[in-house]
Amino acid sequence: MVVEEALKQIETLLAQELTRFDAVYRAQLQSGYSSIQSVLDHLTIERGKRIRPILFFLCQGLVGRPSAETAHVAVMIEMLHMASLIHDDVVDGSMQRRGRDTVNARWDNRISILLGDWLMSRVLRLIPCGPEGTLNIFSDVVDQMAVCELEQALSNPETESPDEETYQRIIFGKTAALFSAVCRLAGLAASSKEKTHSRLSRFGELFGMAFQIRDDVLDIIGDRHLLGKPVGQDSFNSRMNLPLILSWIRCSEEEKDWLRQCLEKASEKNRERISSFVHDKKGHLMAQKQAGRYSDEASVILSGFARSKYREAIENLLDWNLSRKQ
């Protein structure tokens, strides 16, 4: 299946649920205050791929039937994700996302932080709409995301060399933990058994790891116009990029000194140098293989569920992730 078509077919399968999701999402981004509505409208316009809501509804279908009535849970998930992105952009100083100005670029860091906080307040208001256990799941996820962000922010790239173990721990907390929660919440919303919840949670974790690694690969070899941001932006901001780390650990001391100098100044020329360097070391290929291994492990878990159009759609989503261009 053509990569671009896979997501469209999944969106068609979930048309009713996603329509309801969009309506609830837009409604939640109404503040009642005209002075801040332009900032909130910015979030409505810059809608992403909705991967987390899509996975939520698909996992519901895997163990029962997806329900448009659970759209509030999907909206909670997406708003938490959006709040984390807005705060990330402040921390990283990112000026572009999805081809548009970030909130901090359009307004400033102060507005961005307050907007992220406001989104979190909306998440808290929606938690009673979720199934039993929603509060504990969201509390755990936010804790993991915050701890890993703090650990990354407190690290000193001048004295601490990037390593794969730290990378795996950081991306679990920042990315995979939320995907894990998405799938567990889907099981809870479908009233399935605890054993099923655990399997779904593990599947989401593996999908999330593969998803983040593919993002890392695209940050090195992607197309700026498709990504909607400069290639290499995330690598320069955090240095928590798997292709870069896998290339780094295969460097001579002389190459490491050169790489440090390139990373100290985020210029277009240095981005090109680092991309070329990672290509030469085949860091992107090694990282892609790791994403494939996580995806394969997720497929094994998926095979334990009954065959259905929803299982097939998730299988296609796994394939889409490994081949996507943005």
pLDDT at 135: 96
Q: What is the CATH number of the domain that holds 269?
A: 1.10.600.10
Q: For residue 254, is it left (φ>0), alpha (ψ between -120 and 50) or beta?
A: alpha
- Give yes or no for residue 287 having a pLDDT over 70: yes
Please name the residue that has the structure tokens 């929606």: 126
What are 97's strand-pairing partners? Answer: 100
- Give yes or no for residue 1 having a pLDDT over 60: no
DSSP letters for 130-173? SPTTHHHHHHHHHHHHHHHHHHHHH--TTTS---HHHHHHHHII
pLDDT at 234: 66
Number of residues assigned to the chain:
326
pLDDT at 238: 60
According to DSSP, residue 68 is labeled G
pLDDT at 44: 81
Lowest mean pLDDT among 190-199, 210-219, 242-251: 190-199
Region 111-135: mean pLDDT is: 94
d(CA 67, CA 60) in angstroms, rounded, equals 8
96-97/100-101 β-pairing: antiparallel
Domain that holds residue 73: 3-323
What is the total count of domains within the chain? 1
Give the model confidence (pLDDT) of 48-66 as tens digits: 789 999 999 999 999 988 8
Give the model confidence (pLDDT) of 139-174 as tens digits: 999 999 999 999 888 876 666 677 899 999 999 999
Question: What pTM does this model have?
Answer: 0.93
Residue 203 — pLDDT band, cuts 50, 70, 90?
Answer: very high
DSSP letters for 222-265? --HHHHTS-TTHHHHHH---HHHHHHHTT--HHHHHHHHHHHHS
d(CA 185, CA 202) in angstroms, rounded, equals 12
pLDDT at 230: 65
Residue 263 — pLDDT band, cuts 50, 70, 90?
Answer: confident
Element (H, E) at 294: helix 283-302
- Give yes or no for residue 18 having a pLDDT over 70: yes
- Give yes or no for residue 89 having a pLDDT over 70: yes
DSSP letters for 72-136? HHHHHHHHHHHHHHHHHHHHHT--EETTEE-HHHHS-HHHHHHHHHHHHHHHHHHGGGSPTTHHH
CA 225, 228, 230, 232 torsion-angle sign = negative
d(CA 297, CA 45) in angstroms, rounded, equals 36
User: What phi and psi, each to the nearest 5 degrees, are found at residue 102?
Assistant: -70, 170
Percent of the chain with pLDDT over 90: 61
Lowest mean pLDDT among 131-145, 168-182, 225-239, 298-312: 225-239
According to DSSP, residue 308 is labeled -
- Burial of residue 127 (CB within 10 Å: 0-12, 13-18, 19+) is middle
